[in-house]
Chains A and B, each alone.
Chain A
Amino acid sequence: MMLANAMLTEQQARTEAERCLFCFDAPCIHACPAHIDIPTFIGMVRSGNTRGAAEVVKTSNLLANTCGKVCPEDVFCQSACSRGKVDTSISIRELHLYATQQEAARGYSPLAPFPVRGDASAAPKRVAVIGGGPAGLSCAFELAKLGYRCDLFDPAGAGGVPKKTIPSFRLSLRELRTDVDFLSPHLSLKEEAVDVQGFDRLREEYNALFLGVGLGLDKRLRISGEGLKGVYPVLEFLEAAKSGELSAKIGRQVVVVGGGNVSLDAAATARRLGADEVVLIYRRGEAEMKVWRSELEEARRQGVEIRFLTSPLEIIGDDFVCGIRCRRTRLSDERDVSGRRIPVEVEGSDFVMPADTIVVAIGEEIKSDFVRSLGVTRKGFLMVDERYRTALPGVFAGGDVISGEGTIVQAVAHGKAAARSIHHFLSGKTSRIQ
């Protein structure tokens, strides 16, 4: 059942839920980074207990409405569904969305009071969470469940990447607001930026820190013409698109450079903003693209043209961009560290594509110097161990900053796991929750 974000009716939800095989030790639960107890919540949808179903989802994934909308189910739960081996996988994400939106519409179940940790004689342990995106929110909420009170620092408030750059055709602010409203009583939000001095001060004031700061800095192509008017780094482009300030300025011919999900978002956004022609250029082939198939299909549905084996050489223009010089590539037999075939340029194959807007979407890196100074991996992400600890004692991290542009549900999973690690650090005990 593919209904692409139209909410299921009660009848559709029940019919789909009745297809579930209710596997033991269900593969979908393992495939979900947040480990939602999927067969249990689907059983509840089937029996008409949608409120119970929403509670099961939210117990494991606090950004329930957001993930219900944008989670790449073909990558996670549904890819593992046993029913898919019989006929087609259960539409797990749509059932998840159905349950959580039913609850949101009818009013939330009241939560149990969270425990208060520590005895009266000792000062309560405090945790600062830096970054209000999915990882930070998840970490703060899990810590609240464990009995800690958290301060969450983000100059832009709660929401992070989903709020700023996920295109509104994929995620309206409504789902996100629903989730943030649910969480906000359980953390105290401080709309402050944290710089290196602030970071040092927080380390003194708090017993532990969590960095969920994301990446935030667009990688540059480092070719000539990148400074011309009409050339946008992708984050800037998507933020401007989401805030509405870009709608009048989009050109007629847009070229997007990149090969990841964010580049597909940008290309689809450009079409929706009214560009006549949107071409995505990627220096490798379709098989090498690190994208979700559903996003690729969506971009194509929007009329985005994708030119594979095309590498940008130079952006052309005087003041404003007027085109991009490209060179064809071919895939060599050699493979890079990711196991993908390395593209090599084909001499004499240069050509120019006219363009009045160029979006550079070739990835992000860590924006903050002090975060980078804590130690980075070979790919340039913040280094943590298996317990989400950075090199600094008491400083933990999760989300995109440690793993690159990931999914919301992965960030949620990082936040939960890091919170349990922080609890271990602060209490000297392993949480009974593993």
Chain B
Amino acid sequence: MTDTGYSELPIYPARDLSYDFLGLHFENPFILAAAPSTDNIEMVRRAFSMGWAGAILKTTSVEGTRVDLAYPMMSSYDYEGKNIFGLGNIDLISEHHIDRIEANVRQLKKEFPQRLVAASIMAGRKEDWQSLVRRLENAGVDFIECSFSCPQGNIGEDPGKMLAQSVSATELTARWVKEAAERVPVSIKITPHVTDIVEVARAVKQSGADAITASNSIQALMGVDIRTFVPYPQLDGMSTYSGLTGPAIKPITLRTIAEIARNVDIPILGTGGVSNWHDAVEFMAVGAGVVEFCTAVMHHGFRIIDDLRSGMSHYRDEMGFSSVLDIVGKALPHITVHENLRRRKVQSRIDESKCIGCEVCYLACRDGGHMAINRGENRIPVVSEDWCVGCSLCKLVCPVDGCIAMTIHHG
């Protein structure tokens, strides 16, 4: 049933995307990240009934933890006509403490035994971390994610520093959590805001934790009102830094996941900037075993699961994969360090039949490249073989699909 109230008899077979990961059975690789979308049981119910494989309930804490929210909380990074290219938030953890989350876990598992109900936790003291884990296990949670990286709430060893920015604190705290978890897997959610992500990932692995969630939002200043000089979001003439999510951060997350996967043997839950099945394939290709969604759902609703499942199953079939797990890590053999890249003479080739004569490539090369494109007859640019170094800027600025290609130069 769509949100318009019409429904159709299906004519296409239900497509099975299920697989096992982290010792759990996923109906598909799409789950909801700990976020506003998972903070209300009614919302999670709706997501499950629409086909999401699992949900990580918004980060909870022990009773008595003060959660002092400030509004407005969100701001958008709009780029060239698109709103929410990036979404900024100054949200904190859930206002619901563990007692409420225990009840939600019990209720959701009763109603949706096939779906994965996970919970995200954050604490300060060892006994609080461990109490949260034990209570969630008793409530029947499927796995636990530990927020070591909320950009606003800093319950780490140093004020103003995220837990996952300290290698030693990460390993110690992860060890406490893992100690308490007798039955369910534990994943540590880290931040890309570190000098060496591999070092952090090794600490997580060392602690015995089962997985890494990579990665949390990026600290950002969302923009400044140039008349009042108050940045966004604006709260009574003041602002603060936001956690940036959405399409804008996808390349950062891809690198974070890839770097962990290339160096540390640990399962990865990918999150941060994934908008559709195509992005999800990329996340999995660099090493994620499952993909968490947040901003895309906040923008377009739980209904995006229809395209996620449909697009992923068609992709899997077209590629001849038997399971989506076949995608995991497929890109990793193609990533290396800069000095290992093969040096070849690359040249730009313009397909004259496709060229529309905008001369945008000419301009970009003249002022930002190597002055290797000359103006030609009928506005068709001509690449100088002597001057072109193959940087590919022309191809990137070209507005026509497939008009400019980079080719290996022989000769």
Kindly state the separation between the CA atoms of A362 and B94 in the bound complex, as whole angstroms. Answer: 68
- Residue interface bits A220-253, CB-to-B below 8 A is 1, else 0: 0000000000000000000000000000000000
Contact B303 A59 (CB under 8 A): no
Shortest C-beta distance, B207 to chain A (Å), equals: 37
Contact present for B13 and A55 (CB under 8 Å): no
CB distance from B283 to the nearest CB of A (A): 14
Contacting pair B314 A43 (CB below 8 A) = no
| Min CB gap B286→A, angstroms | 19
Q: Which of A25, A59, A434 contacts B12 (CB 8 A)?
A: A59
Task: List the B residue with the shortest CB-CB distance to A145.
Answer: B9
**Minimum CB distance partner of B13 in chain A:** A112
What per-residue 1/0 map shows which CB atoms of A31-75 lie under 8 Å from chain B? 000010100100110111101100110111000000000000000
Question: Which residues 103-118 of A sit at the B interface, judged by CB distance below 8 A?
Answer: 109-112, 114
Q: How far is the CA of A111 from the CA of B12 in the complex (A)?
A: 5
Q: How far is the CA of A43 from the CA of B307 in the complex (A)?
A: 7
Complex Cα distance, B103 from A351, in Å, reads 87
Q: Mark B4-44, 1 if CB is under 8 A from A, else 0.
A: 11111111111000000000000000000000000000000
A52 to B308, CA, bound (A): 10
Residues of B within 8 A of A47 (CB): 276-278, 307, 311
B10's partner among A24, A29, A46, A112 (CB-CB below 8 A) is: A112
Considering the complex, give the chain A residue whose CB is closest to the CB of B12: A55
- Bound-state CA distance A401–B276 (Å) is 45
Give the contacting residue for A52; candidates B7, B10, B14, B307; CB below 8 A. B307
B10: chain A residues within 8 A (beta carbon): 59, 112
A433 interfacial by beta-carbon distance below 8 Å: yes
Interface residues on A, range: 35 or more
CB B291 to nearest CB in A, in angstroms, measures: 14
- A413 to chain B minimum Cβ distance, whole angstroms, is 11
Per-residue CB contact flags for chain A residues 84-106 toward chain B (1 = under 8 Å, else 0) read 00000000000000000000000
Which positions 300-333 of chain B face chain A at CB distance < 8 Å? 300-301, 303-304, 306-307, 310-311, 314-315
Q: B391 an interface residue at 8 Å Cβ cutoff?
A: no
Tell me the complex Cα distance, A47–B300, Å: 13
Q: Is A353 located at the chain interface by the 8 A CB criterion?
A: no
Select from chain A the residue with minimum beta-carbon distance to B2.
Answer: A37
Complex partner residue of B311 from A10, A48, A110, A434, CB under 8 angstroms:
A48
B278 touches A110 (CB 8 A): no
Chain A residues whose CB sits within 8 angstroms of the CB of B303 once the complex forms: 40
**B236 contacts partner chain A, Cβ-Cβ < 8 Å:** no
**Alpha-carbon separation in the docked complex, A56 to B8 (Å):** 10
Note all chain B residues with C-beta closer than 8 A to A26: 3-4
| Contacting residues, chain A, for B5 (C-beta < 8 A) | 25, 434
| Max chain B Cβ within 10 angstroms of own Cβ: one of A46, A52, A58 | A52
> Could you say which of A18, A49, A58, A142 has the most chain B C-beta atoms within 10 Å of its C-beta?
A49
Contact yes or no, A109 B307, CB < 8 A: no
Taken together as a complex, chains A and B put the C-alpha atoms of A43 and B300 apart, in Å, by 10
Which residue of the partner chain A has the closest CB to B4?
A: A29
Question: Which A residues are in CB contact (< 8 Å) with B7?
Answer: 432-434
Task: Give A58 to B10 CA distance when docked, in angstroms.
Answer: 10
Write the chain A residue with the least CB distance to B7: A433
Q: B3 and A24: CB pair below 8 A?
A: yes
Return the contact of A49 from the options B3, B11, B277 (Cβ within 8 A): B277
With an 8 A cutoff between CB atoms, is B401 at the interface? yes
Q: CA–CA, A109 to B300, complex, Å? A: 27
A1 CB to closest chain B CB (Å) equals 15
Chain B hits for A11, CB < 8 A: 400-401
In the bound assembly, the distance between CA atoms of A56 and B233 in angstroms comes to 39
Give B263-289 as 1s and 0s: 1 = Cβ < 8 Å from A's Cβ atoms. 000000000000011100000000000
| CB-nearest residue of chain B to A431 | B9
Query: What separation, in Å, do the CA atoms of A35 and B1 have in the docked complex?
Result: 12
In the complex, the answer to whether A44 meets B307 with C-beta atoms within 8 Å is yes
B314 nearest in chain A by CB position: A51
Q: Is the CB of A110 within 8 A of B6?
A: no
Task: Find the A residue at minimum CB distance from B6.
Answer: A35
| Nearest A residue (CB) for B315 | A49
User: Given the complex, which residues of A lie within 8 Å of B6, measured CB to CB?
Assistant: 29, 35, 37, 60, 434
Q: How far is the CA of A434 from the CA of B278 in the complex (A)?
A: 34
Q: Give Cα A40–Cα B342 distance, bound, in whole angstroms.
A: 43
Taking CB atoms, residues of chain A closer than 8 Å to B2 are 29, 37, 40
Q: Which residues of A contact B3 (CB under 8 A)?
A: 24-26
Within the complex, what minimum Cβ distance (angstroms) separates B120 from chain A? 27
Q: When chains A and B are docked, how far (Å) is the Cα of A385 from the Cα of B304?
A: 38
What's the Cα separation between A43 and B6 when bound, in Å?
18
> How far apart are the CA atoms of A47 and B304 in the complex, in Å?
11
Inter-subunit contact A49/B310 (CB<8 Å):
yes
Measured CA separation A52–B400 after assembly (Å): 25
Of B2, B307, B315, most buried by chain A (CB within 10 Å of CB) is B307
Rank and list the top 4 A-B pairs by shortest CB-CB distance, nearest first: A49-B311, A52-B310, A112-B13, A47-B276
17 additional contacts (CB under 8 A) given A11-B401, A110-B12:
A10-B401, A25-B3, A25-B5, A29-B6, A44-B307, A48-B278, A49-B277, A49-B307, A49-B310, A52-B314, A111-B12, A111-B13, A112-B10, A112-B11, A114-B11, A433-B8, A434-B7
Q: List 14 A-B contacts (CB under 8 A).
A: A24-B3, A25-B4, A26-B3, A35-B8, A37-B2, A47-B278, A51-B310, A59-B8, A60-B6, A110-B12, A111-B12, A112-B10, A112-B13, A142-B9
